[in-house]
Amino acid sequence: RAVEVALLTGRGLSWWQEHARETGAMRPWYIQLTLPRDALHRRIAQRVDEMLAVGLVDEIRRLLAAGVPPHAPGLDAVGYREVAAMLAGQLPERELREAIVVATRRYAKRQETWFRNQLRREQGAGSRTAELWMLDATESPDKLAHRIHQRWTVLTAPGSPLPAPR
């Protein structure tokens, strides 16, 4: 897409994005899908149980036996790191599941924090909070699509609540 824009217009995509911001021609709004904390924790635990049930430990055991070092890129991912520690005798097997669950929860929290901070930086001070819309990810995809379409229709209509171009 970026190459296509540059070839067709003679200017890079970054120039068009900056120009749109400066002129107010581009007024983005953001959608953040969220899960209630208990639902997120439940899904994380279910996912960890599934990973362990389908052979995560055996997969990592085979990688290590094939000569992949435990500190290799990829083996430091959540879940892999904990299994490698268990296989090295650094984590009791009975604590493996909970260690992966806790590490995954922490990772999810870091993702939420990162996303929230990205939006703050993008919007900047004095921006209208109406541009960030949080939706419950437990709703059906059809219902979410309908709500997003309704919002889009309202925000793109004449006299919409979006800030006027600068």
Is residue 115 within 8 A of residue 128, CB to CB? The reply is no
Mean pLDDT of 42-66: 98
Task: Pull the structure tokens for residue 9.
Answer: 């217009």
Pairwise CA distance, residues 157 & 30, whole Å: 17
Q: 108-125: per-residue pLDDT in tens? A: 999 988 887 876 655 555
Mean pLDDT of 116-135: 63
Q: 143-160: per-residue pLDDT in tens? A: 999 998 988 888 776 666
What pLDDT does residue 24 have? 62
54 versus 154: which is more confidently predicted?
54
Residue 59: φ, ψ to 5°? -60, -45
12 versus 48: which is more confidently predicted?
48
Q: How many residues does the chain have?
A: 166
pTM over 0.95? The answer is no
Is residue 25 within 8 A of residue 163, CB to CB? The reply is no
97 versus 150: which is more confidently predicted?
97
Is residue 126 within 8 A of residue 24, CB to CB? The reply is no
pLDDT(163) > 90 = no
The domain locations on the chain are 2-156
Mean pLDDT of 68-90: 95
Give the C-alpha distances (Å, rounded to integers) separating 96 from 33, 34, 61, 82: 29, 27, 14, 7
DSSP state of 139: S
DSSP state of 17: H
What pLDDT does residue 166 have? 36
What pLDDT does residue 146 have? 93
Taking only Cα atoms into account, the Rg of the chain, rounded to an integer number of angstroms, comes to 23
Choose among 42, 48, 49, 45: nearest CA to 137.
Answer: 42
What pLDDT does residue 129 have? 42
Pairwise CA distance, residues 50 & 121, whole Å: 37
Q: Coil, strand or helix: which one is 133?
A: strand
Best CATH choice for the domain 2-156 from the list 2.30.30.60, 3.40.50.300, 1.10.287.890, 2.60.120.920 = 1.10.287.890
